[in-house]
Amino acid sequence: MPVLALVSAVLVITVEQLVQWQYGAAGIVGLLLLTIGIRANRPGLSSAGAVLLALLVARPAL
């Protein structure tokens, strides 16, 4: 079980670093809003985070 927790923690940190490198501070804020919204069962927060991430991803195409 500790190995699974360690692997998941490394995966989460890696994803956060990739998002920050690719999309900057706004990407981290979007990911944070999405994560907090899902964990707290608040659809408004998770929707705001998802929209922010979608706008950051779609920005080059716009």
Residue 34 maps to a domain = yes
Show Cβ contacts of residue 28 under 8 Å, excluding neighbours closer than 6 positions. 16, 19, 20
The whole-model pTM stands at: 0.72
pLDDT in tens, 10-62: 888 888 888 878 888 888 888 889 889 988 999 999 999 999 989 988 877 66
Residue 43 maps to a domain = yes
Residue 18 maps to a domain = no
Residue 8 maps to a domain = no
The pLDDT assigned to 62 comes to 61
The pLDDT assigned to 48 comes to 94
Residue 20 maps to a domain = no
Query: How many alpha carbons fall within 13 Å on the CB side of residue 59?
Result: 10
- Counting the structural domains of the chain, the total is 1
Residue 49 maps to a domain = yes
**In which domain, by residue range, is 62 found?**
27-62
Residue 38 maps to a domain = yes
